Amino acid sequence: MKTNKIALSSVFLNFEQSREAQFWGLQFIGWGGLCIVTFLSLTVWYGTPNISHVIHTIVQAILGVILCIPLRYIYRSVWEKPFWVRLVVIGIAIILSSVLWTLMRMQAFLWLGQEYDIWKDFGGWYFGSFMVFLSWTSLYFGAKIFSLLQFEREQRYLATQQIQEEQLKRLSAETGARQAQIKMLRYQLNPHFLFNTLNSISALIKTNRSDQARSTLSQLSDFLRFSLEKNPNQKVTLSDEVQTLNLYLGIEDVRYGDRLKTEFEISEDAFKGYVPSLMLQPIFENAIKYAITGKIEGGKIRLQAKTEQQVLLIVIEDSGAGIEDVEKKTADAIKQKSGVGLINIIERLESHYGENASLKVMKSDLGGLSVELRMPYERTIEAQPDILSEMATQGNKTV
């Protein structure tokens, strides 16, 4: 029973989607209905239910179907013509089709019924033929217009759905960006972070390194102001993102000194590419936590960025202890086991780029972890600040 229902549903679905099936189905219904009406209103009414009249009823329906085939192609050919052209062609087609059908069914009636004096009633036969083809034409264009309206309604529905999906994606991206901003603000306003930074500034003052203290205080001020002024819902160039990262690293450099070693290898094209804002700092935060903090000799963090066939590739590696079972974690595996930082980045990438972006965690040649970001390369044509020279003059940072 279930199989029969599925088969029946499949038949109805195919009928709904196939114009050819709809045409022939409606032909069968229309001309079959005409046969029934003719039989009941003429054959039965006049008391002549003999085999010849029944056969004539069926034959004239078949002849009508045959005439409708070229009529269909004529109507198709003038569908997009000007209104007056369509009106003239349709009118002529109805008249000629009615004449041909009248002649054929009258002749068929003579052959089957052996009656020879019916030509004097040609006008009555023609009037019936004309009304049949006029009705057929009206139904044909009515069905065509209905199908067109239904198609337009479906297209509007799909367009509305697409707009709603884009709005949901944008809202999701904005939500993810706001969460990233909140997380960044929480970190910046973390008492330990502020205490350690202010304590470092105090130590610089006590050791008569007031210029360095003022520089660090200025960096802290810029870093805090950035989180309030920057709009996290928009994309920024990698150049701007690296400048923001340098504010964070400049503050941490006061605490860790030579223990914090960073290396930047960024191509000129990559600098001009757009990335979601606030993407790099959480990854560097984790890298410092595992590669620098707690290690007397410190460690190294390396940022590489380049373009590969309209793809922006960013790789952040560290020299930390790493994770033994890491071979190549994809986004789904990271979502199950990683912390909030990486999950937040993955969700923002998905919101901005869908399946066109990815994040992977692998073993690094430096000994720790390597975080690989891939996203579509969207380039700005505006000139970017030359920050290569700025990074080259920041002590232990190399380009």
The domain spans of the chain are 2-164, 230-398
- Cβ 106 vs Cβ 119: under 8 Å: yes
Gyration radius of the chain over CA positions: 40
Per-residue pLDDT at 380 exceeds 80: no
Assigned token pair, 54: 């029944």
Report the Cα 30 to chain-centroid distance in Å: 43
State the pLDDT confidence band at 191, using cuts at 50, 70 and 90: low
pLDDT of residue 307: 94
Q: Which residue has the higher pLDDT, 55 or 263?
A: 263
Residue 269 has a pLDDT of 92
% of the chain at pLDDT higher than 90: 14
Which two structure tokens, joined as six digits, stand for 4?
A: 């029969």
Mean pLDDT in residue range 309-333: 73
Name the nearest CA neighbour of 126 among 98, 84, 163, 86.
98
249 Cβ contact list (under 8 Å, min separation 6): 260, 262, 284, 394, 397
pLDDT score, position 228: 63
Q: Which of 384, 389, 397 is nearest to 270 (CA)?
A: 384
Task: Look at the pTM and tell me if it is higher than 0.75.
Answer: no
Q: Dump the DSSP string for 257-268.
A: GGGEEEEEEE-H
Closest to 275 measured CA to CA, from 195, 325, 348, 169: 348
Which of 193, 241, 197 has its CA nearest to residue 219? 197
Q: Which of 131-140, 221-230, 295-304 has the lowest mean pLDDT?
A: 221-230
Annotate 18-58 with DSSP letters as a single string: -HHHHHHHHHHHHHHHHHHHHIIIIIITTT---HHHHHHHH
Q: Tell me the percentage of the chain whose pLDDT exceeds 70.
A: 76
Asked whether the beta carbons of 312 and 276 are under 8 A apart, the reply is: no
Give the mean model confidence (pLDDT) for residues 91-100.
91
Rounded to an integer, what distance in angstroms lies between the CA atom of residue 95 and that of residue 132?
11
Q: How far is CA 45 from the centre of its chain?
A: 63
Neighbouring residues of 37: CB distance < 8 A, sequence distance ≥ 6: none
Distance of CA 247 to the CA centre of its chain: 37
Over the chain, what is the mean pLDDT? 78
| pLDDT value at 306 more than 90 | yes
| pLDDT exceeds 60 at position 153 | yes
Q: How many CB atoms lie within 10 A of CB 283?
A: 22
With contact defined as beta carbons under 8 Å apart, do 233 and 269 qualify?
no
How many CB atoms within 10 Å of residue 103? 16
**Whole-Å CA distances, 308 to 275, 331, 399:** 15, 21, 20
Give, as one character, the DSSP assignment of residue 270: H
CATH fold for the domain made of 230-398: Heat Shock Protein 90 (3.30.565)
Percentages of the chain per state (helix, strand, coil), in multiples of 5? 70, 15, 20
The arithmetic mean of pLDDT across residues 186-196, rounded, is 58
Does residue 337 register a pLDDT over 80?
Answer: no
- Hey, what's the torsion of the CAs at 354, 356, 361, 363, to 10 degrees? 180
Residue 393: which pLDDT band, with cuts at 50, 70 and 90? very low
Residue position matching structure tokens 């190549």: 328
